[in-house]
Every structure is written in structure tokens, then in C-alpha cells.
């Protein structure tokens, strides 16, 4: 029987004691690459989709796009791309934005013949925008997600952050997984370093000390109410899991003064940043920094709106184990804006920026790792980065 009691994740000592005795389950593997995210960077998220194993079948889940885009879904044998075993075209016209739905991919079962899932997204004019291949049951099999989230009414939850009003439940494709281990990290994660820095800043939950650990039953309803990162695994010994965050009710908006100041760190000098951070009236100090960028009021308004607007977009689109603007993709998007060309494979993401007024041509490569896109940092990125920062400081964006 499914326990429908609502778990309020405030991590009280009493809750911890009540659920401490639950048995942990066998380790399972979560495939972080088994996901499609297509974005049109001058608009909101266009499409987010993933594939899971559920009820002994493969299931495609997606979040409805902003526009009338088309998703062509094909399944074919691993050895022959010409023999299509399943084909369905999803037309999103007239569908509510942001409502996640799902379909069963035919009668294909995990453990059967090697298959390839091919997803192609096209514009309303039938122009091909992106293709993604996933292997099912193959030698390079990307295991369908054994841990996933749903709304309490069964709709798939595809986001990486939740609101206080969201009532969610954990599910698993493995019958052996009946209890989930959740580690909680309340501390705010640091923003990513500039792209020329030799150090990558990524999250490995097993190497960090959690503030609290607790367990939740399969199908048990839960809410997030304390800000921080929730790392969910099939057992306390599993090395991989999924991330779920609660960043506060205003998120993804950037409107808290401390976040506005921290977000400006990439374009401030040390003395400017320290002045804002240590000011008795930090909001006034922040205003003074921006006012010094330009004496033209309209130009200044556009500059501020563009900068923090990009941070908000990054929060919506790139959040993983921390706020989207703090991730590698988030800092690049905030400073450089939408890439002019995007190329993606299962394990690499490429962003290309051409030359322009005050801009260096630059190519950024991100590698998929533990459910994160990690920037391949290089000293060659220093000049393009410094040029873009100078453009911000001189109000040339």
C-alpha cells in the first residue's frame, strides 16, 4: 500500500528519529545523460524531455514547449536505422505551457533487444532544430532513470527546483527500491569560476558532509520547505542520484539584495565588490555601482534589465545542484548572452560565439558529468572574457 502522508522537509529532529529506522534499499544507477534539453535562447525553455523505465516499459516524458514546436519520436533496432519500430509525432499546438506529460514507447521492455531512441525537434515550419540519440538495451546502454519525480497526481516533474506549493513523490523503475535516502545541504553553493580559471567547481555529494540525512518511502508525498539542495539516492551507499532544490518562493527571479550584489561579482573590481558587500546600506552601494556605468538613464535601465534578466533566464534553464546563474552554463550565458550556434551530443555541449563589436570569437565546450554540464576551462578564454566584462562596465551591451 502507498503511504500518502505528506512529508514536510523541514528536517526536524523528531522527523529524523521517526524515519531513522527505515531500511535502505539496494544501490541503483541514475543516468544523467538520458535527457534532452532544447532551448531557444532568446525565449523561454522550448523543450525538456527525458526517458525512464516505468511499469516494465520505456516511457518518454516531456514538458510542453513555449511555441508550436514538433517532436518526432522514433525507435529502431540498434543495428538498423532504416527499420523503424515505433514512430510518433508530438504536436504541441494548443497545449498548456509547462505541463509535463508522458507516453509509453510501444511495447519495448528493458532487457530486450538493443534499441535506439531518436528524438528530433523541429520548428512549426518543419525546420530541423536538433537531434538526440539514446540507446536502450544496447552495449552502450544508458540505463533508464531508476529514480524520478512525479507530481502527486502522477504527472512527471522534470524540473530541478520546486516551489513550496509543489506536492511531489519519488518513484523508481526498480521494484527493489522502496525507500529513498535524501541528504540535505543548506549552505549556498559558490558561483562558478571564470572560464579561464584552471579549477572546475562541481558537486560530488559523497565527498561533502550533509547537514541532515533522512529517508522517504516510495510514493510518499513530500514538500520542500527549507532552502537548500536535496540529493536523492536509492541508498546511502549509492554514488549517484538526482538533485532537487528549493531556492525560495521568489526563485527564479533575482531580487534579493544579497543575490543582486553576488551576481554582479563577475563585472566588479575587488574594491567595488567589497564596498557593496560590507556597506551599511548595501542596496544604496549597489545602485551607486550601476549608476557609475552610464549617465544615460535609458541606457542604464537596459543594461541592468539585460544583466539580471540573463541571470533569471539561467535560473530557469540551467539550475542543477545550485542556482542556474551560478553554474558554468549560467555564467557564460550571463556574460556572453545567447550562443549564436549550439551543437550537442550525449556527452558534450558546444556553444559558439562569433566576432562582433568589442567581441572575440570563442567556442565553449561543456562535458556531461554526474548530471552536470562542466565547462572545459582554458587560458585562451581570458581575452574574450575580459572583453565582455569591459563591455558591461562601459555599458556597451
Instruction: Work out how many domains the chain is built from and give that number.
Output: 3
Question: Stretch 174-184: mean pLDDT, rounded?
Answer: 89
Q: Do residues 40 and 14 both lie within one domain?
A: no
Report which of residues 207 and 219 the model is more confident about: 219
Please state whether 21 falls in left (phi above 0), alpha (psi between -120 and 50) or beta: alpha
Is residue 13 situated within a structural domain? yes
Is residue 252 situated within a structural domain? no
Q: Do residues 11 and 153 both lie within one domain?
A: yes
Q: What is the pTM of this model?
A: 0.81
The mean-pLDDT minimum among 223-232, 272-281, 285-294 falls in 223-232
Q: Which residue is listed with cell 504527472?
A: 155
Q: Do residues 283 and 386 both lie within one domain?
A: yes
Is residue 57 situated within a structural domain? yes
Is residue 239 situated within a structural domain? yes
Is residue 1 situated within a structural domain? no
The mean-pLDDT minimum among 36-40, 225-229, 275-279 falls in 36-40
Residue range of the domain that includes 236: 7-28+145-198+206-246
Q: Can you give the CATH number for the domain in which 68 is found?
A: 2.60.40.2550
What pLDDT is recorded for position 11? 40
Q: Do residues 320 and 376 both lie within one domain?
A: yes
The mean-pLDDT minimum among 70-79, 182-191, 193-202 falls in 193-202
Q: Do residues 386 and 264 both lie within one domain?
A: yes
What pLDDT is recorded for position 2? 40
Q: Do you find a cis peptide bond into 252, omega within 30 degrees of 0? A: yes
Q: Do residues 353 and 265 both lie within one domain?
A: yes
pLDDT band at 37 (very low <50, low <70, confident <90, very high): low
Among 180, 215, 246, identify where a domain stops: 246
Q: Do residues 270 and 221 both lie within one domain?
A: no
Q: Do residues 333 and 299 both lie within one domain?
A: yes
Q: Do residues 343 and 358 both lie within one domain?
A: yes
Among 186, 217, 246, identify where a domain stops: 246
Is residue 315 situated within a structural domain? yes
Is residue 103 situated within a structural domain? yes
Among 87, 111, 136, identify where a domain stops: 136
Q: Do residues 150 and 23 both lie within one domain?
A: yes
Q: Do residues 262 and 381 both lie within one domain?
A: yes
Q: Do residues 215 and 321 both lie within one domain?
A: no
Amino acid at each position: 500500500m502507498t503511504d500518502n502522508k505528506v512529508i514536510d522537509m523541514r528536517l526536524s529532529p523528531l522527523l529524523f528519529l521517526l524515519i531513522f529506522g527505515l531500511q535502505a534499499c539496494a544501490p541503483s544507477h541514475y543516468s544523467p545523460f538520458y535527457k534532452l534539453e532544447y532551448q531557444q535562447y532568446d525565449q523561454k525553455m522550448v523543450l525538456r524531455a527525458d526517458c525512464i523505465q516505468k511499469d516494465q516499459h520505456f516511457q518518454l516524458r516531456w514538458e510542453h514547449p513555449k511555441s508550436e514546436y514538433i517532436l518526432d519520436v522514433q525507435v529502431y533496432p540498434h543495428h538498423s536505422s532504416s527499420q523503424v519500430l515505433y514512430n510518433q509525432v508530438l504536436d504541441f499546438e494548443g497545449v498548456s505551457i509547462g505541463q509535463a506529460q508522458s507516453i509509453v514507447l510501444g511495447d519495448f521492455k528493458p532487457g530486450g533487444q538493443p534499441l535506439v531512441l531518436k528524438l528530433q525537434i523541429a520548428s512549426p515550419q518543419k525546420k530541423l532544430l536538433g537531434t538526440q540519440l539514446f540507446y536502450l538495451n544496447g552495449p552502450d546502454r544508458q540505463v533508464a532513470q531508476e529514480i524520478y519525480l512525479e507530481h502527486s497526481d502522477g504527472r512527471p516533474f522534470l524540473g530541478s527546483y520546486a516551489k513550496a506549493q509543489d506536492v511531489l513523490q519519488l518513484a523508481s523503475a526498480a521494484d527493489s527500491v522502496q525507500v529513498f535516502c535524501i541528504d540535505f545541504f543548506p549552505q549556498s553553493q559558490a558561483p562558478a569560476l571564470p572560464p579561464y580559471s584552471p579549477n572546475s567547481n562541481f558537486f560530488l555529494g559523497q565527498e561533502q558532509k550533509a547537514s541532515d540525512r533522512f529517508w522517504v518511502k516510495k510514493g510518499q508525498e513530500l514538500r520542500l520547505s527549507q532552502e537548500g539542495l536535496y540529493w536523492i539516492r536509492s541508498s546511502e551507499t549509492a554514488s549517484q542520484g538526482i538533485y532537487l532544490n528549493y531556492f525560495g518562493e521568489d526563485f527564479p527571479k533575482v531580487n534579493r539584495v544579497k543575490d543582486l550584489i553576488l551576481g554582479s561579482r563577475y563585472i566588479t573590481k575587488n574594491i567595488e565588490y567589497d564596498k557593496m558587500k560590507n556597506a551599511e546600506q548595501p542596496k544604496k552601494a549597489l545602485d551607486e555601482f550601476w549608476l557609475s556605468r552610464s549617465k544615460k538613464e535609458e541606457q542604464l535601465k537596459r543594461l541592468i534589465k539585460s544583466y539580471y534578466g540573463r541571470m533569471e533566464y539561467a535560473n530557469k534553464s540551467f539550475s542543477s545542484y545550485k542556482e542556474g546563474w551560478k553554474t558554468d552554463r549560467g555564467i557564460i550565458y550571463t556574460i556572453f548572452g545567447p550562443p549564436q550556434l549550439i551543437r550537442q551530443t550525449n556527452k558534450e555541449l558546444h556553444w559558439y560565439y562569433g566576432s562582433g563589436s568589442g567581441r572575440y570569437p570563442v567556442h565553449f565546450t561543456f562535458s556531461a558529468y554526474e548530471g552536470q554540464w562542466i565547462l572545459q576551462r582554458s587560458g585562451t578564454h581570458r581575452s574574450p572574457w575580459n572583453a565582455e566584462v569591459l563591455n558591461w562596465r562601459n555599458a556597451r551591451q
